[in-house]
A = this chain, B = another copy of it.
Amino acid sequence: MSVLVVGSVAFDDLKTPSGGRQNILGGSASYFSLAASRLHPVQVVAVVGDDFGPEQYQVFQDRPIDLTGLIRKPGRSFHWTGEYGKDLSEATTLDTQLNVFADFHPVLPEAYQKASCLFLGNIDPVLQLDVVRQMVHRPRWIALDTMNFWINGSRPALLEVLKEVDILMINEAEARALAGERNLIKIYEKIRPLGPKILVVKRGEYGVALFSPEGNFLAPAFPLPVVVDPTGAGDTFAGGFMGFLAATEHRDLMTLKRATLMGTVMASFTVEQFGTSALEALSDNALHGRLAALHDLIHVVPR
């Protein structure tokens, strides 16, 4: 059984206070699958253009990532150009070229239709729902990411797919826009009746807040002296989180907490270098060392 991710595989041009990169591998499905595949086999549904070559395929083929659902079409791949200011908290999009992604209609290969976990990356909620409907049995976990563009522009379709979702994974501004509330507890109260039993709010340098029927969890981001490029942090988090859940039968709050820390640590590596390069080079020792350090950082023995 696998974790199935549907999302984008793209080329990015990035500028941050630490420098810039052009034409580097990006996209939600790239970050997600590189992170999740450390913990569990991954299946990818996405589309790329004919500019996606052996060098890019190699990044995924080194790992337990099934690319049967990565369709290659004539034309160029999705291309995003973004820039970060000094505080690194939000990217300014300078250019978005959808290219082959404009006509993306995810079709699940037969072997994908029984995946145990499904992550619906930030794409049109109509397509997200279409993917859910292609599953022959319901995954143990369905998680969804979205953004303000869909929250404001495609709310009915988003509400439709949310009914099918267990875990909604969005950032703080998106959570506020969706719920029309500022306070996280009230936001969770508004979102739970929409479908997702679990709400994961990504708060950038302030970490993650998780709300579930069994209880809540607040995790800090792993403190880093230098953040080079925040691109992909959220999708890397999702990959670590879902990979962790896919690799265990447990569904309790403690499992969700551990999944949160795994996602947090994975994301901390991503932001230390441009693009996917830190994730690609990440050793088991480094991963487990930092996970232990994060446990220490939050560990308190009550008196």
Chain A positions within 8 Å of B, measured between CB atoms, are 86-87, 182-186, 203, 206-207, 209, 215-218, 220, 223-227, 254, 257-258, 261, 291-292, 295-303
Contacts and interface: CB of A to CB of B under 8 A. Distances in A.
Contacts of A186: 225
Which of A86, A203, A218, A297 neighbours the largest number of chain B CB atoms within 10 Å of its CB? A218
A298 B206 contact: no
7 contacts: A87-B182, A183-B225, A203-B206, A209-B220, A216-B297, A258-B300, A292-B302
Contacts of A217: 297-298, 300
A258 B300 CA distance: 7
B296 A215 contact: yes
Contacts of A292: 302
Contact of A261 (B184, B254, B296, B300): B300
Contacts of A291: 302
Contact of A300 (B203, B209, B224, B254): B254
A182 B292 CA distance: 26
B216 A185 contact: no
